[in-house]
C-alpha cells in the first residue's frame, strides 16, 4: 500500500501511521481500514454500546479523510440502518467536517470512532443527519444489523466490508433477549456521564509519533442530553416534616441579641473631651505666668 503514495506527504504519512496502529492494536468495539485503491476512504464498523438499545448491533459506515488531514476533520456516513443516524448521509457531529472549528489535529480515526459510539445513545437534539426512533425499533434494527453487512460499492469495497463484519461479529455479544411487543423497563443511566466529555485538552502530535488514546474522546461532545436525575450527586434533599406535626410542637431556637449600650460610648467621649480641654487650659495658664515673670525681670 505504501509504495503507491508519496511518503513525504504529511497526510499520507499520518494515514499510514494510523493504519499500522489500527492493525497492531485492534479493538473489540470497532474496526476500520482504508481501501487499497484510496487510503483517504475508510470503511468502518462499530459495536452498539452496552446497556443501551443498540447493544449487540454492528453498524457499518464510511469515513472520508480530506487531503489536508489531520489539519481538517473527516466526514462520516452510516450505511447500516440504526434509528439514530440517517444512512447514506453525512452526519453532523463535533468530530465531523460540519464543525471544523472543533477539530484537533491530534485526533485520529480511532478517536473519532470511540466518540461516535459515545454519541449513539445521546439525544439527537435535531442535529443534521440524526434520527429519533423508539427504543423498541432500535433494538429490532440492532438484531437485523447482525444478519448481513450492507451491500454497496465496488467488489474491493464490498470485500473489505465483509471482512470487517466477520471480525466484528466474532467480537460482538449477542443482542439481549427482550420482548419487543412489551414495554420494557428502561434502566436509568446517567447520559451526562456518557457524553460529557470535562476533558483534558489533547496535545498536538506530530506525524510519526504516538496517537492520542481513547480517553481523549471525553472532550468531544457536542450534543448535550437532558439530565433525568432530578437530584444531582452532592445535593442534599431536606427531610420532609410529617403532616401530623404541628408547628407549635416544633422546637424553636432561642436567640438573644445583645445590643451595645450607646450611653457608655457617649460618656466616654464626653470624659475624653473634658480631659483634653483641661490640659489645654493648664498649658494656656502656664504660658501666661511665664510671660508675666519675663516682663517683671526686664
Separation between Cα atoms, residue 199 and residue 156, nearest integer Å = 39
What band does 296 get if pLDDT is binned at 50, 70 and 90? low
If you average pLDDT over every residue of the chain, what do you get? 76
Residue 208 has pLDDT above 80, yes or no: no
Give whole-number Cα distances, 127 to 92, 99, 131, in Å.
6, 12, 9
Q: In what order do the strands lie in the sheet with 58-64?
A: 30-34, 41-47, 58-64, 75-78
What band does 90 get if pLDDT is binned at 50, 70 and 90? very high
CATH of region 2-219, choose from 3.10.110.10, 1.10.150.130, 3.30.420.40, 3.40.50.2300: 3.10.110.10
Calculate mean pLDDT across residues 63-91.
94
Please say if 92 is a catalytic residue.
Answer: yes
Residue 265 has pLDDT above 50, yes or no: yes
What band does 249 get if pLDDT is binned at 50, 70 and 90? very low
Calculate mean pLDDT across residues 21-28.
94
What band does 174 get if pLDDT is binned at 50, 70 and 90? confident
Q: What is the pLDDT of residue 292?
A: 57
Question: pLDDT per residue over 49-76, tens digit each?
Answer: 999 999 999 999 999 999 999 999 999 9
Separation between Cα atoms, residue 74 and residue 67, nearest integer Å = 10
What band does 237 get if pLDDT is binned at 50, 70 and 90? very low
Of the listed ranges 110-114, 262-266, 285-289, the one predicted with least confidence: 262-266
Written as nine digits, the cell of 284 is 494656656
Residue 158 has pLDDT above 80, yes or no: yes
What band does 253 get if pLDDT is binned at 50, 70 and 90? very low
Per annotation, catalytic residue among 79, 91, 92, 114: 92
Q: What is the pLDDT of residue 112?
A: 94
What band does 2 get if pLDDT is binned at 50, 70 and 90? low
What band does 134 get if pLDDT is binned at 50, 70 and 90? very high
Of the listed ranges 14-18, 100-104, 113-117, 125-129, the one predicted with least confidence: 125-129
Q: What is the pLDDT of residue 82?
A: 95
Higher pLDDT, 39 or 185: 39
Length of the chain: 298
What band does 247 get if pLDDT is binned at 50, 70 and 90? very low
What band does 199 get if pLDDT is binned at 50, 70 and 90? very low
Domain ranges for the chain, please list them: 2-219, 269-298
Q: What is the pLDDT of residue 245?
A: 41
Of the listed ranges 27-36, 140-149, 213-222, 242-251, the one predicted with least confidence: 242-251
- ω into residue 70 within 30 of 0, thus cis? yes
Amino acid at each position: 500500500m505504501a509504495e503507491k503514495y508519496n511518503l513525504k506527504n504529511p497526510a499520507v504519512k499520518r494515514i499510514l501511521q494510523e493504519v499500522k496502529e489500527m492493525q497492531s492494536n485492534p479493538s473489540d468495539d470497532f474496526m476500520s481500514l482504508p481501501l487499497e485503491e484510496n487510503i483517504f476512504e475508510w470503511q468502518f464498523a462499530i459495536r452498539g454500546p452496552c446497556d443501551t438499545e443498540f447493544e449487540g448491533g454492528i453498524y457499518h459506515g464510511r469515513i472520508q479523510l480530506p487531503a489536508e488531514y489531520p489539519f481538517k476533520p473527516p466526514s462520516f456516513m452510516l450505511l447500516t440502518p440504526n434509528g439514530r443516524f440517517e444512512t447514506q448521509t453525512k452526519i453532523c457531529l463535533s468530530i465531523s467536517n460540519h464543525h471544523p472549528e472543533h477539530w484537533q489535529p491530534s485526533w485520529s480515526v480511532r478517536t473519532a470512532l470511540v466518540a461516535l459510539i459515545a454519541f449513539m445513545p445521546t439525544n439527537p437534539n435535531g442535529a443534521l443527519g440524526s434520527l429519533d426512533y423508539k427504543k423498541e425499533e432500535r433494538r429490532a434494527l440492532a438484531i437485523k444489523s447482525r444478519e448481513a453487512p450492507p451491500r454497496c460499492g465496488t467488489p474491493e469495497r464490498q470485500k473489505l466490508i465483509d471482512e470487517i463484519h466477520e471480525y466484528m461479529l466474532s467480537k460482538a455479544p449477542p443482542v439481549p433477549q427482550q420482548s419487543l411487543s412489551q414495554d420494557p423497563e428502561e434502566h436509568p443511566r446517567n447520559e451526562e456521564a456518557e457524553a460529557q466529555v470535562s476533558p483534558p485538552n489533547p496535545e498536538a502530535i506530530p506525524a510519526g509519533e504516538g496517537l492520542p488514546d481513547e480517553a481523549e474522546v471525553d472532550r468531544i461532545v457536542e450534543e448535550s442530553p437532558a439530565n433525568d436525575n432530578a437530584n444531582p450527586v452532592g445535593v442534599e434533599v431536606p427531610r420532609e416534616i410529617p403532616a401530623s406535626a404541628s408547628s407549635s410542637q416544633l422546637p424553636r431556637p432561642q436567640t438573644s441579641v445583645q445590643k451595645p449600650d450607646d450611653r457608655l460610648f457617649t460618656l466616654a467621649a464626653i470624659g475624653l473631651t473634658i480631659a483634653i480641654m483641661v490640659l489645654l487650659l493648664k498649658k494656656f495658664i502656664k504660658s501666661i505666668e511665664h510671660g508675666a515673670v519675663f516682663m517683671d525681670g526686664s
